[in-house]
Amino acid sequence: MQNVKPEFPFQPIAEYRAYKSAIDAAMLSVCESGNYILGPECVEFEKVFAAWIGTAHAVGVANGTDALVLALRALGIGVGDTVITVSHTAVATVAAIELTGAEALLVDIEPATFTLDPQKLADTIRANPQRRFKAVIPVHLYGQPSDMPAIRAIAQQHSLHVIEDCAQSHGATLGGKITGTFGDAATFSFYPTKNLGAIGDGGAVVTRDASVAARVRELRQYGWKSRYISDTTGMNSRLDELQAAILRVKLPHLRTDNQRRRDLATLYAMHAANSAITLPPVRSGAEHVYHQYVVRSPQRDALMAALKTNGVPTAIHYPQPVHTQPAYLGRIATGAGGLAESERACREVLSLPMHPQLTDDAVIFAAQKISEWRP
């Protein structure tokens, strides 16, 4: 057993220091270029990110929330429409739906994976024939792929668009196919703590459909097809050159960094044997990228306190399901059995330290403290 507490560095700073010289050079190049918005760095990042994902088009935008809004709008979704997603997610998923004027309808999750339950999706559509369902947004939460074959089959049966929320799943795969390539469009966040993170906000919409990509490009800049002339009502959501340059530096390291996350997950599994907690499973055929390493326990708060006493930082993703938050009350689907699993997850989940710059010793120390803990 280790008795000396290792350091748990803050991820964005640790990652910046890991790639400091290249990032500094890229930022200086942008500053000296005079191109700061939608310039050559953004164009090149869009090209290399689309190639990395394996899709035809990527469009850089200001953040992950805007990416969802723009993808929805590009697919013609707005007032009077209903979009199905989960309640156990970052609130941005639901906020984006309602920013389009559409209504979010929230369904429950699979208890093991924390992702959208396909059976609940089918039940919801069947039980609400009066609604104008237009799309479903599966969230690949914590880096775990949703059950995309089942979700796509249901969506096709009911003529629904599929928009993948990949904010936490950069590089995750299911059946050898990367998340972001299953749906009509997919959205990414490059918030600093993401598997691929900027030093500030950033996001992207990816799609194989040229018309959807063109529509997102118009909408992200005031609805312009030609400068200063708005053909439609758009918005200002542009990926700036500094963030695009930083992302270009980091992208070639993403596969290695994701593998490091998987290696750390293996260490947790080896050293955190404790019947009082449940370790995260991996969906059959999936490659998890562990944006978060999330355990669960009915005594979560006591575990969190014990780890804090031992100097191990933790967090809760997320402490309250969206459907119980004041701004989004009443978005529960009828006829789908409620949201019991989402509510239980929020009472039990705990995120342990997880990022590529952590040492083996740090993860083993945290895991051993969990193993020693008794509720």
In the predicted structure, residue 3 carries a pLDDT above the cut 80: no
Amino acid at 289: V
Running DSSP on this structure, what letter comes out for residue 39?
A: S
- pLDDT at position 337 is 85
Q: What is the C-alpha to C-alpha distance for residues 231 and 18, in angstroms, rounded to an integer?
A: 44
Give the angle subtended at the CA of 32 by the CAs of 27 and 35, to the nearest 5°. 85
Residues 259 and 241 reside in one and the same domain: no
Task: Average the pLDDT over 97-122 and give the result.
Answer: 98
Residues 159 and 49 reside in one and the same domain: yes
**Chain segment 311-355, per-residue pLDDT in tens:** 999 999 999 999 999 999 989 988 888 999 999 999 999 999 999
The candidate with the shortest Cα–Cα distance to 64, out of 190, 246, 172, is 190
208 Cβ contact list (under 8 Å, min separation 6):
55, 56, 57, 181
Is 2 part of a structural domain of the chain?
no
Domain region containing 125: 15-251
Which of 236, 251, 266 delimits the end of a domain?
Answer: 251
- pLDDT at position 52 is 98
Which of 210, 231, 251 delimits the end of a domain?
Answer: 251
Task: Average the pLDDT over 32-49 and give the result.
Answer: 97
CATH number of the domain where residue 66 is located: 3.40.640.10
Higher pLDDT, 336 or 368: 368
Tell how strand 229-230 and strand 224-226 pair up. antiparallel
pTM for the model stands at 0.97
Residues 288 and 246 reside in one and the same domain: no
The kind and range of the H/E element at 274 are: none
Inter-residue contact 65 to 203 (CB < 8 Å): yes
**Chain segment 253-274, per-residue pLDDT in tens:** 999 999 999 999 999 999 998 8
Task: List 178's β-bridge partners, or say none.
Answer: 173
How many alpha carbons lie under 13 Å from residue 151 in its C-beta half-sphere? 27
Residues 170 and 278 reside in one and the same domain: no
Is 23 part of a structural domain of the chain?
yes
Instruction: Locate 174 and state its tokens.
Output: 């299911």
- pLDDT at position 276 is 87
Residues 61 and 96 reside in one and the same domain: yes
Average pLDDT, rounded, for the chain? 97
Could you give the maximum distance between any two Cα atoms of the chain, in Å? 67
In the predicted structure, residue 1 carries a pLDDT above the cut 60: no
Task: Average the pLDDT over 226-254 and give the result.
Answer: 97
Question: In terms of residues, how long is the chain?
Answer: 375
Query: Residues 257, 206, 238, 69: is their CA dihedral positive or negative?
Result: negative
Task: List 107's β-bridge partners, or say none.
Answer: 86
Q: What is the C-alpha to C-alpha distance for residues 20 and 36, in angstroms, rounded to an integer?
A: 21
CATH number of the domain where residue 269 is located: 3.90.1150.10
Is 5 part of a structural domain of the chain?
no
**Chain segment 82-107, per-residue pLDDT in tens:** 999 999 999 999 999 999 999 999 99
**Could you tell me the CA-to-CA distances from 144 to 140, 283, 286 in Å, in that order?**
5, 7, 8
Is 7 part of a structural domain of the chain?
no
- pLDDT at position 4 is 76
Which of 211, 236, 251 delimits the end of a domain?
Answer: 251
Amino acid at 344: R
Helices 20-33 and 11-18, packing angle to 10 deg: 80
Task: Average the pLDDT over 20-33 and give the result.
Answer: 98
Percent of the chain clearing pLDDT 90 (strictly above): 95
Higher pLDDT, 330 or 166: 166
3-state DSSP call for residue 126? helix
- pLDDT at position 2 is 54
- pLDDT at position 274 is 80
Residues 49 and 152 reside in one and the same domain: yes
In the predicted structure, residue 67 carries a pLDDT above the cut 90: yes
